[in-house]
Structure 1
Amino acid sequence: MTVSAAAPVETLHRSGRPLLLAASLATLGRGRGDPCHRVTPDGALWRTSLMPAGPVTYRLVQRDPTSVHCRAWGPGAVEFADTLPDLLGERDEATGFAPRHPKLAEAHRRCPGLRIPRTGRVFEVLVPTILEQKVHGIAARASWRRLVGAHGAPAPGPAPAGMRVPPPAEVWRRIPSWEFHRAGVDPKRSRAIVTAAAVADRLEQTVAMAPEEAAARLRAVPGIGVWTAAEVAQRALGDADAVSVGDFHLAAMVGWSLLGRPLDDPGMVEYLEPLRPHRYRAIRLLEVTGQAVKPKFGPRTAVTDHRSH
């Protein structure tokens, strides 16, 4: 570990309702080797971020069912501490969510502390999401590790070994095409990242927009479609209704889990409509409670190596 002499910014967040830290923030990680997201053997969640004020490393520990202790290091620590309630889903309200399906009703009863987090860092969430477009998750996560490892800054404070702060937009803009290629990223995805980096400031403005307006702003960038915009909205904007239409597995999973048969995207959208504005919440509840089902009928999707193209 690299230890900084600077004292951490400490916060004890007490919520007025149940809070499941690990389950709520699990979607922010990009695999076990994510250099920006780490769960240590003691159960602590370590993450890094690049705040407007500078980089930050933070360590979150659940103290009891309604409180989380946070220590943050780096130039962005004070600014991050102000955003901690959003990250822990204090803006997220399940008011009006009363699913009739027995599985969803039971999942909601079992997990009253599940929250939809809101990082507020749009471009930071967008880059790994673009890397996950139309490729196997294993390959996308390997690309993320390689690129952040090469271009991210060391995490401030006593971060676990190997943790890095994600690069700023101006760094992503300067990464040469051949380096994306070596990281297994095809030209379509690398162009989308570089193009988004050029308008990163405008994308960050979506945190203050209504969901429909934010989605339109994101999708105006070439290479960002419905799926990518929804994945960003779920994590950066805390949108409990954003459905990842176009996901390779999602529609079938929803169908098998709730109807005992597969659905396509239009069928999934129609079926989930009565759950608006909590459609993504319903999906997360299925995942967190282990009730997400999708039978395996054949071999897994092959991992495509774009470096040979």
Structure 2
Amino acid sequence: MSTFAHQLLGERLIDIGATLSWYRHGGADPTTWLNVVGRGVASRGEMVRATRTPDGPGTLRIGWTGSPVTDVDGIAGVSLEAYGPGAAWMLEQVPRMLGVDDRTDHGLAADDHPAVARAARNGRSVRMGASGDLYHSLLPTILEQRITIGEAHHQWRQLCCNLSEPAPGPFTRLLLPPEPGVLARQPSWWFHPLGIERKRAEPLLRVAQHAAKFWDWAALTPSETRAKLHLMDGIGQWTIGNVLGPALGDPDAVAVGDYHLKNMVGSVLAGEARATDERMLELLEPYVGQRGRVVRLLRLNSAAAPKFGPKKRILPMHTW
């Protein structure tokens, strides 16, 4: 096979497991199950996701068995099932979720920085997919503000177990995200026993109150959607930077204000154990337009900043 043919095949291959991974919030996410055996384009597995669509609740199952490729008709090597009133809408989203139209390199594999080039080569088949679902993406991301990721994932599960209903289809224990009307009716004090204090409960309530607008916002450009989200109290740069990637497929979205991200970027790109958000953005400046892709590829390549000192004891929020 010629070098050109190898390159062309590489552009068409999809690492489905890694591509779908950013739609799930923790291994026990009650709305999104992901099981992957193996790594890279040769992996096999399935994702089952329940969500709310413009047409009503829906459940989608995506299964794959090694080296799926894009072709003129969509994705070869992938099986799909969908259930509920939102089934047709979810099936229409599959090509976007898998990033079929996303080019995967953008010259990063030939970048001057060896860490970026290595991560881009290793992740050449990882796509920047888009769920098109801002509401579903915002809820668990808001919970991840200000606390550890493990505690936030536990709270997301508890929120769904308390307020959601079973998802359409044959998947027992799979839950939908909370219905916006149900979530919006809860007083802020109701969330405290779950460990969710007022500063995070109130943005959850605002998101529920404005949920109907998000379908139109998801059809805008990432910069337009960013401006809309900035108008909502409690939705800041960190939340927006984490949401625009998986919801809209924005390759430039960066979570400014993240406790760990700035240090990872500083360590990998400049050999600096600790960095500020300003320094992180300075180091990412050469990749404007693809900053989110660079960060994602570095993370998938197990990049991390060095750790110092003893691990801090984490106190659950409801004990504060």
Question: Scaled by the length of structure 2, what TM-score is found?
Answer: 0.86
Matching residue within 122, 138, 145 for 1:133? 145
User: Is it true that 1:92 corresponds to 2:94 in the alignment?
Assistant: no
Structure 2 residue aligned with 1:56? 58
Q: What's the RMSD between the two structures over aligned residues?
A: 1.9
Change (3 A) 1:97 1:218: farther
- The residue number in structure 2 matching 1:75 is 85
- The amino acid of 1:112's aligned partner reads R
Structure 2 matches for 1:123-272, cutoff 5 A?
A: 123-159=135-171, 161-261=172-272, 262-272=274-284
Q: Show the counterpart of 2:24.
A: 29
Taking the aligned partners of 1:169 and 1:148, their CA distance within structure 2 comes to 12
Aligned residues: 293
Kindly state the Cα deviation for residue 263 of structure 1 after the two structures are TM-superposed.
2.0
| Alignment correspondent of 2:301 | 289
Q: Is the 8 A contact 2:60 2:91 kept in 1?
A: no
Q: What's the counterpart of residue 280 of structure 1?
A: 292
Q: Distance in 2 between matches of 1:97 and 1:214?
A: 27
Gaps of 5+ in 1: 1-14
2:30 counterpart SS class: coil
Among candidates 110, 113, 116, match of residue 125 of structure 2: 113
Q: Matched residues in 2 for 1:219 and 1:193: separation? A: 15
* Structure 2 contact 14–125 (Cα < 8 Å) conserved: yes
Report how far residue 302 of structure 1 moved.
Answer: 3.8
Amino acid at match of 2:151: A
Corresponding residue of 1:7:
none
Is 1:17 matched with 2:12?
A: yes
Percent identical pairs in the alignment equals 36
Deviations 1:117-154 (A, max 9, x none): 20111011101111000111111111100010111110
Worse-matched range after superposition: 115-124 or 161-170: 161-170
In structure 1, distance between residues paired with 2:179 and 2:86: 14
User: So what's the TM-score if we normalise by structure 1?
Assistant: 0.89
| Equivalent position SS for 2:218 | helix
Deviations 1:231-253, CA, capped at 9 Å, x for gaps: 11011111010010100000101
Deviation at 1:189, TM superposition (A): 0.4
Please state how far the C-alpha of 1:172 moved relative to its aligned partner: 1.4
Indicate conservation of the 8 Å contact 2:105/2:124, yes or no.
no
- Amino acid of the structure 2 residue aligned with 1:59: R
Q: 2:198, 2:81 → 1: CA distance?
A: 39
Q: Contact conserved, 2:54 with 2:215, CA < 8 A, in 1?
A: no
1:30: how far off?
Answer: 1.2
Q: How far apart are 1:40 and its partner, in Å?
A: 4.0
Q: 1:276 to 1:264 in 2, by over 3 A?
A: same
Deviation at 1:215, TM superposition (A): 0.8
Q: Residue by residue, what CA displacement relative to the aligned partner does 1:5-42 show, whole Å, maximum 9, x if unpaired? A: xxxxxxxxxx9711111111111111111101113477
Deviates more, 1:292-301 or 1:191-200: 292-301
CA gap 1:175/1:91 in 2 versus in 1, 3 angstroms: farther
Gaps of 5+ in 2: 1-9, 38-44, 70-75
Give yes or no for contact 1:136–1:301 (8 Å, CA) kept in 2. Answer: no
